[in-house]
Chains A and B, each alone.
Chain A
Amino acid sequence: MTATLRNHDPALDEFAREVGSEGAVSIAGNRTRWDVGGPLDPDTRVLSAPTGIVEYIPEEMIVTVRAGTSVEELHRTLAERGQWTALPERGGTVGGAVAVGQNDFRRPARGDVRSAVLQVRYVSAEGTLITGGGPTVKNVSGFDLPRLITGSLGTLGCIAEVILRTNPIPATTRWLSSTNADPFAIHAALLQPGPILWDGTTTLVMLFGHEVAVAADIDRLRSLGTFDDCAAPSAPTGHRWSVPPAALSDVAALNTGAFVAEIGVGIVHAEQPQSRPPLDAGALLIHERMKAEFDPTARLNPGRTVGVR
């Protein structure tokens, strides 16, 4: 039945055969976030996911892409039609970005990864190709497997292909820097705040939209301090913290060491790692059951645990 509705892709079948149904297995992308979730068990077979953009329909704002494709290649193709996705540009692959589930530091302008994955096809622990979700932005047809798989670090299935929502690249983007404007006031002053990065001294803010709207935003910001144009920053590095946005108003209390905070979002890129409380018992129970349901023999990405940063 399903075959009539979904493209039959021999590359995915081949991937499913490689994953098989026995033995510990892990999928590597470009290993840019290889340490997330803890060290991989040593005797694990490491495979690569299939590559290539399968279908890009700009007017539907969707792209079907195999997991092994690099985000860079994907975004290069989309840029030709004035679009991008929420996936972070950090040198990794599409599958890796989806499995890790972390957002780009420009998330306020690009959207979040979990909302961007409309359909996922993955190889199950039994070696079967499974499809969840669908190719449309709006979809409540059954349980949301794309949301489950996104950010699951490959512990529930081996991601083979995704359909991603694309978004138009804004007509204008402009980065400004300031050393005397309060970053929280900047966030409050803008109707649709773009990324705001703050290291305790300097604030970098990205404005985006129509040129006149950006110009008007700049006027709004002038009352808050002095701003200068600056180059677009590269992705901040360091240990990744996730805190409620309000907690950023007292970063010192967090003991992050040197930091770059994403104001209004709550991500902090810091010198020190974040120590996080364990999941509460009820949530842990669901996690354990989930893992047991999807991977009864614990063969998928052994050693990795979601929640270890």
Chain B
Amino acid sequence: MSLLDRFRDRVGSGSATSGDPLVDDLRAVLSPDRVKTDGAQRSLLGKDASVFDGGSAGPICYPISTNEVVDIMQVAQRHDRAVVPRGAGTGLAGGAIPLGAPIVVAVTKMRSIGEIDEANGVAWVEPGVINLDLTRHLTPLGYHFAPDPSSQQVCTIGGNVANNSGGPHCLAYGVTNSHVAAIEIVTPSGDVVMLGGLDPEPDGYDLRGIFIGSEGTLGIATKVAVRLTKNRPAVRTLLLSFASVRDAANTVSDVIAAGIVPAAMEVMDQRITEAVENYVGAGYPTNAAAVLLAEVDGPEEGIDIDADRIAEIGRANNATMVRVAADNTERALLWKGRKTAFGAVAQIAPDYYLHDTVVPRSALADVLDEIYAIADRHDLLIMNVFHAGDGNLHPLIVFDGRDEGVLERVHAAGGEIIEASLAAGGVLSGEHGIGVEKQKYMDRLFSDADLDHQNRLRRAFDPVCRANPGKILPMGHSCADIQQLRSVPTGVWG
């Protein structure tokens, strides 16, 4: 191709008819350069941060307004094509992986922070706004957005809504569902509907509440009224070391039993602490079997009562060291270590599989023992870093995908971890969602009748499986026949 041809191609890109009526219709409602159809883009948006392959994106749309999302939904209806929303693509359960060459709606260009309504305690933001950008925007006004998932520097508010995201500090503050007052959505039928409201008890069923955490299967959020949380004047961050993971886990249980709900309680085992320390140099003790990062916040008055009590409970559970972060720099460094833990393991092996289950706090120590045993049985390296206060485990299997047969062992161990968590009275996911990862385990937690009712809920929003089909509900339930979805429709995508 000559330079001139390439130039023409670039300038003319999208203006010519594509030969695919779906693409032509999408380009007619969006500006042509915001509908991408090239193989490079489609293969890229066929994946997210999970280990799941098999995604297949159709045309990729980058809308910039609610009306454009409505237009896309209407085109999708005309062509009977599914629609999958996407934020930053940092999901770990494959929730944003497009199945069956659907239209992918990337909201990353819808990223303005609108009105800050202090009198009603909310800010209106678009779904593509990055979580940490929002908090930074609010900080000078004395507020923040409370959910702080480890991916907060990159994940979007739309993605937080889709996954009901948590983060270390949701122990005291609650997950995304507690921090969103209202959501404007485009329904799978193409209607614009406001769910929830700025008043405390909006009329009707709690459609806002059920939309949050529905992984893009009930429609596309186009505006979100997030709640403003006042910044805390005082914070105490404690670092406790233990000679056993069990002691750390017991400390966590005892703190809650003592009537203290700290802002956060996070545990890292020795292997992950070493990786983190190597990466960040935060001053974590690498000789301890487990470290507990506990944080209390609130008014200055009384804060040390809780901090001292946590230290005391830690010592009663054989803590080998108790340290309070001296200043904000040390505190920030400790948190940086915790929040980059998953990435830091890449120094150990190129691939990892991060799990996400929740168990009762009192079962933490036993389930962890079981998880280490599972890893040994499958000859795998496993590390544990988790939201201990919530009982939210994040076992991390570290491996090299090029090793023969390792993926089978990784998946087998993953299955056993899930079984062990459920056997202890836990649930499938605390914050990553079901996506395509855990569909097949849904019937371990729910009966057919239970799942049927979940499907009814879904159908009320989306009777024709338009929005993100093939997710959450297992095979045999409507919208979930993945085999069918994986046979890509004929046309230019074939």
Task: Assess the A144–B301 pair: CB atoms within 8 A.
Answer: no
Task: Kindly specify which of B187-195, B310-318, B329-337 makes contact with the partner chain.
Answer: B187-195
Task: Assess the B450–A102 pair: CB atoms within 8 A.
Answer: no
Chain B, interface size category, equals: 35 or more
Task: Assess the B206–A147 pair: CB atoms within 8 A.
Answer: yes
Quick one: which of B414-458 are within 8 Å of A by CB? 422, 425-434, 438, 442-447, 449-451, 453-454, 456-458
Quick one: which of B361-396 are within 8 Å of A by CB? 361-362, 387, 390-392
Q: List 17 A-B contacts (CB under 8 A).
A: A5-B445, A58-B257, A82-B259, A136-B360, A136-B426, A138-B431, A139-B430, A141-B427, A150-B206, A151-B205, A168-B259, A191-B298, A210-B305, A244-B197, A245-B120, A245-B200, A267-B201
The residue on A at minimum CB distance from B360 is A60
Task: Assess the A141–B457 pair: CB atoms within 8 A.
Answer: no
Given A143-B457, A209-B298, A294-B453: A168 and B207 within 8 A (CB)? no
A231 at the interface (CB under 8 A from B): no
Quick one: which of A273-309 are within 8 Å of B by CB? 276, 279-283, 285-287, 289-290, 293-294, 306-307
Extra pairs beyond A138-B390, A279-B203, A286-B187 (19, CB < 8 Å): A1-B444, A57-B362, A82-B259, A107-B200, A131-B447, A136-B427, A140-B431, A141-B427, A143-B472, A144-B177, A144-B209, A151-B206, A216-B301, A242-B200, A265-B200, A282-B191, A289-B461, A290-B457, A293-B460
The residue on A at minimum CB distance from B430 is A138
Docked Cα-Cα span, A302 to B120, in Å, equals 36
Docked Cα-Cα span, A140 to B390, in Å, equals 13
The residue on B at minimum CB distance from A141 is B428
Docked Cα-Cα span, A130 to B454, in Å, equals 10
Given A5-B422, A114-B209: A143 and B193 within 8 A (CB)? no
Contacts of A253 in B (CB 8 A): none
Task: Assess the B201–A242 pair: CB atoms within 8 A.
Answer: yes
Task: Assess the B427–A168 pair: CB atoms within 8 A.
Answer: no
Task: Assess the B120–A283 pair: CB atoms within 8 A.
Answer: no
Quick one: which of B288-303 are within 8 Å of A by CB? 298-302
Task: Assess the A148–B457 pair: CB atoms within 8 A.
Answer: yes
The residue on A at minimum CB distance from B356 is A140
B69 at the interface (CB under 8 A from A): no
B32 at the interface (CB under 8 A from A): no
Cβ distance B396 to chain A, nearest Cβ, rounded Å: 18
Task: Assess the A245–B119 pair: CB atoms within 8 A.
Answer: yes
Docked Cα-Cα span, A112 to B181, in Å, equals 13
Contacts of A267 in B (CB 8 A): 200-201
Contacts of A128 in B (CB 8 A): 449
Task: Assess the A138–B358 pair: CB atoms within 8 A.
Answer: yes
The residue on A at minimum CB distance from B207 is A286
Q: B193's contact among A136, A215, A283, by CB below 8 Å, is which? A: A283
Task: Kindly specify which of B33-41, B97-105, B163-171, B271-279 makes contact with the partner chain.
Answer: B163-171
B261 at the interface (CB under 8 A from A): yes
B246 at the interface (CB under 8 A from A): no
Quick one: which of A145-165 are within 8 Å of B by CB? 145, 147-148, 150-152, 156
Task: Assess the B446–A152 pair: CB atoms within 8 A.
Answer: no
Contacts of A234 in B (CB 8 A): none
Return the CB mask of B174-188 against A: 1 if under 8 Å, else 0: 110110000000010
Query: What 4 A-B pairs have minimum CB-CB distances, sorted nearest first?
Result: A210-B302, A307-B203, A282-B191, A147-B209
Task: Assess the B460–A130 pair: CB atoms within 8 A.
Answer: no
Contacts of A147 in B (CB 8 A): 177, 206, 209-210
Task: Assess the B205–A141 pair: CB atoms within 8 A.
Answer: no
Task: Assess the B210–A139 pair: CB atoms within 8 A.
Answer: no
Docked Cα-Cα span, A139 to B422, in Å, equals 13
The residue on B at minimum CB distance from A240 is B201
Task: Assess the B201–A102 pair: CB atoms within 8 A.
Answer: yes
Q: What is A's interface to B at a CB cutoff of 8 Å? A: 1-2, 5, 57-61, 82-83, 101-103, 107, 112, 114-115, 124, 128-132, 134-145, 147-148, 150-152, 156, 167-169, 191-192, 209-213, 215-217, 240, 242-246, 249, 262, 264-267, 276, 279-283, 285-287, 289-290, 293-294, 306-307
Docked Cα-Cα span, A276 to B461, in Å, equals 24
B74 at the interface (CB under 8 A from A): no
Task: Assess the B472–A142 pair: CB atoms within 8 A.
Answer: yes
Task: Assess the B454–A287 pair: CB atoms within 8 A.
Answer: no
Cβ distance B281 to chain A, nearest Cβ, rounded Å: 30
Given A103-B201, A168-B259, A244-B199: A132 and B450 within 8 A (CB)? yes
Docked Cα-Cα span, A1 to B203, in Å, equals 37
The residue on A at minimum CB distance from B93 is A140
Return the CB mask of B261-286 against A: 1 if under 8 Å, else 0: 10000000000000000000000000
Task: Assess the A141–B442 pair: CB atoms within 8 A.
Answer: yes
Task: Assess the A139–B429 pair: CB atoms within 8 A.
Answer: yes
Task: Assess the A282–B459 pair: CB atoms within 8 A.
Answer: no
Task: Assess the A143–B214 pair: CB atoms within 8 A.
Answer: yes
The residue on A at minimum CB distance from B443 is A1
Contacts of A285 in B (CB 8 A): 189, 191
B476 at the interface (CB under 8 A from A): no
Docked Cα-Cα span, A184 to B474, in Å, equals 50
Which residue of B119, B230, B390 has the most chain A CB atoms within 10 A of its CB atom? B119
